[in-house]
Amino acid sequence: MWQIQKSFMISRRLLRIKVLKILFAYIKSGNQSQLSAEKELVFSINKTYDLYHYVLLLLIKIADYAQNRINIGKQKYLPSQEEKNPNTKFVDNTVIKLLRQNKILQNYIEQEKLSWDDSNELMKKIFSSMVSSDYYKEYMLNSRHSFVEDRQLICKILENEIEDLDYIYVLLEEKNIYWIDDLEFVLSMAIKTVKSFRANQDNYTELLPLYKDDNDEQFAVRLFRRTLADYDKTEITIDEHTRNWDFERLAFMDTLILQMLLAEVREFPEIPVRISMDEYLEIAKFFSSPTSSAFINGVADKIISHEMKENNIVKYSENLLEKSEKL
């Protein structure tokens, strides 16, 4: 069996973002139980995996749409010469065939009842954009038919035809509220999957697993629980280290990101401080204000340095926040 080596579907950054969103909703609601919030967190992660398979299925359905257009052209009373002898290079694409034949993909789709059957308008929009593109025209006009060329075309479709299409976000929101923010990441994972395909792989070729290992599977829930467990204590700590700020007026998202960062630094001794810091500073760029990263970096630096001196933070690896010293 051909397997995708050393790859997995969901990243730690996406897990952090999902924890951030569930924490935000949980704290703001004020009436949700922690258990139900944890279940929602796990559900949202699993739904990202659904979307990954859904995007791979989309490639098959685009080819189905193209085949249907060929069939309609042939059935015309007076078909054109092109309709009589259509170019079937795209519908015969070997990567599409591998996806069709992949038992793991098909079993997952059937189990989760994933379908694009009610999305003909989406297929039309994607197909129309695709056939007008230079990369598609070049592919179809090239008489050579190689697996590498077929694989490159599918990657270009994933790269160019889906993410910027407004209509797909409307459909995804109707199907699942978690999918809109996940699409860009899932497309990158679908591209990674297609690039790993080989012409001689069998029908049971594995796709990307959801998690890298058990630690990743437990990461999100552990981070969520530790953030809530330390929440009141950390709020006081943040207040103490922002004396020149009006704590009541600090952006809630900034303080929540700080809460998560400090919870992660305390909870996961195997993760270097600098890695955690960099991750949350990147997240702040997208989910808070333009000045948030500088604020979070400054406050977190002071708090972490203080807690290290008090031996409240233990790390197995090198301290990348300041000097390379063992903690």
Report if residue 318 sits inside a domain: no
| Two tokens, residue 135 | 């990369």
Cα–Cα dist 67/91, whole Å? 6
Report if residue 13 sits inside a domain: no
pLDDT at 145: 87
Q: Using only C-alpha atoms, what is the Rg of the chain?
A: 24
Is residue 179 located within the same domain as residue 252?
A: no
Tell me the C-alpha to C-alpha distance, in Å, between residue 179 and each of 28, 37, 169, 170, 221.
22, 18, 8, 10, 20
Report yes or no on whether pTM surpasses 0.75: yes
| Two tokens, residue 41 | 């967190």
Q: What is the mean pLDDT of each run of 10 residues along the chain (327 residues)?
A: 56 95 94 94 96 98 97 87 90 98 98 95 97 98 93 98 95 91 94 96 95 93 98 93 66 94 96 95 90 90 90 65 37
Contact indicator for 160, 135 with CB cutoff of 8 Å: yes
Is residue 280 located within the same domain as residue 165?
A: no
Q: Which of 197, 121, 114, 113 is nearest to 154 (CA)?
A: 197
Tokens 């070049």 -> residue: 138
Report if residue 211 sits inside a domain: no
Provide the residue range defining the domain that includes 271: 230-309
Is residue 166 located within the same domain as residue 239?
A: no
**173, containing H or E segment:** helix 166-175
| Two tokens, residue 155 | 């990657």
Is residue 189 located within the same domain as residue 234?
A: no
**64, containing H or E segment:** helix 34-74
Contact indicator for 34, 168 with CB cutoff of 8 Å: no
Q: Which of 150, 56, 145, 161 is nearest to 109 (CA)?
A: 56
pLDDT at 325: 35
Phi-psi region of 113 (alpha: psi -120 to 50; beta: other; left: phi over 0): left
Report if residue 250 sits inside a domain: yes
For the chain, what is the domain count? 2
CB atoms within 10 A of CB 320: 15
Report if residue 18 sits inside a domain: no
Tell me the C-alpha to C-alpha distance, in Å, between residue 262 and each of 119, 205, 221, 257.
44, 41, 15, 9
Is residue 51 located within the same domain as residue 189?
A: yes
Amino acid letter for position 92: D
Is residue 65 located within the same domain as residue 184?
A: yes
Report if residue 172 sits inside a domain: yes
Condensed to tens digits (0 to 9), the pLDDT of residues 98-152 reads 999 999 999 999 999 999 998 999 999 999 999 999 999 999 999 888 999 999 9
Tokens 């989760």 -> residue: 112
Q: Which 8-state DSSP code applies to residue 180?
A: G
Tokens 């170019």 -> residue: 87
Report if residue 23 sits inside a domain: no
Is residue 188 located within the same domain as residue 238?
A: no
pLDDT at 310: 81
CB atoms within 10 A of CB 168: 21
Is residue 241 located within the same domain as residue 169?
A: no
Is residue 70 located within the same domain as residue 157?
A: yes
Q: Is 322 helix (H, G, I), strand (E, B) or coil?
A: coil
- Give the CATH number, domain containing residue 302: 1.10.940.10
Report if residue 187 sits inside a domain: yes
pLDDT at 245: 63
**Where among 141, 171, 196 does a domain terminate?**
196
| Two tokens, residue 45 | 């992660």
**Where among 180, 196, 212 does a domain terminate?**
196
